[in-house]
Amino acid sequence: MANERRLLRVLDGERLSPPPVWMMRQAGRYLPEYRATRAKAGSFLDLCYAPELATEVTLQPIRRFGFDAAILFSDILVIPHALGQKVWFVEGEGPRLEPIDLSRQELQPDRLLERLAPVIETVSRVRSELPKETALLGFCGAPWTLITYMVAGRGTPDQMPARRAALADPSGVDRLVDVLVDASIDYLSAQLAAGADAVQIFDTWAGALDDTGFWRFVIEPTKRIVAGVRARVPNARVIGFPKGAGGHLPAYVRETGVNAVGIDWQASLDFVRDSVQPQTAVQGNIDPLHLVVGGGALDAAVDRVLDRLGEGRLIFNLGHGITPDGSIDNVARMLARVRGGR
């Protein structure tokens, strides 16, 4: 009997038409109901750690749009926070962290799952309330992307602080990678045990690395995470998203064993079709700006993805998260076109 959750069928090897669709950051500031819930929570981290409110936020885009998957509402920086690094969010500016001392690394991995218990509770709550046909995705931030924040204390344009640290103190960065790989395995395995159908590994800053760095800090840690999770949860479904990977995508897929790979909007669709999609399902890759502008440009972008990638295994998505100024009407227009309205 076919799985009712269409996204899982694609992850398991089927091609479906129309493809399943969800949207990175689909639970977020572009929705008025999110903003109302967010106002009740206090800080952003308070919202991440409040199971009742985080469950509500996760379900909001499913109620409004009927996406084929819900993704847990949380943040990639809950892992550094749960390891004991000071993390906070500045309204309108984003995350701030107390930069880690690579020589000391006074982290507390033994308390990780204790501190993340409210997030795991949210996974269980969401699964119990989702429609049976809707997949539930958990996630974590990949080690390299977490390191860029942990070292610099904030987002930076070119990730130079972390890149410099990797050259100046390679053993210190390697030790931090090891801690984050183990933490990711623990965290993702717990999400799957709590009811997530699949998990995604977000490597937002993978594209900042050179060839050597990409293999060392993106491919190898991801390979270890996937293997570690599957050692605990056999046949666990994992989506990788190495944003900016470009020509590294085929090697990333081959070496890590992910069930699908996210494609950012800068990737060549012909390259993805010919060199990546034969290996695995692909996910993406609409530029989120199209959901701000809409109109014919959005229609054309949707059609390009469906025409170039629709003959293979495809999960329709964006090339990164929807921005706060994305339009609800444009999301509805995109969904209608993907589902047969063009």
Active site residues: 25, 29, 38, 75, 149
Length of the chain: 342
The C-alpha angle 200, 205, 95, rounded to 5 degrees, equals 85
Please enumerate in sequence order all residues whose Cβ is within 8 A of that of 290, keeping only pairs 6 or more positions apart, or say none: 297, 298, 301, 330, 334
3 state DSSP class of 312 = coil
Matching residue, tokens 């076919």: 2
Residues β-bridged to residue 316: 21, 284
Q: DSSP labels for 219-250? A: IHHHHHHHHHHHHHSTT--EEEEETT-GGGHH
Q: Choose among 204, 82, 218: nearest CA to 149.
A: 204
Q: Choose among 190, 261, 192, 171: nearest CA to 222.
A: 261
Q: Is 139 exposed, middle or buried (0-12, 13-18, 19+ CB in 10 A)?
A: buried
Answer for the pair 316, 310: CB distance below 8 angstroms, yes or no: no
The CA–CA distances, whole Å, from 214 to 59, 148, 249, 270 equal: 35, 14, 11, 23
3 state DSSP class of 39 = helix
In whole angstroms, give the CA distance from residue 138 to residue 141.
11
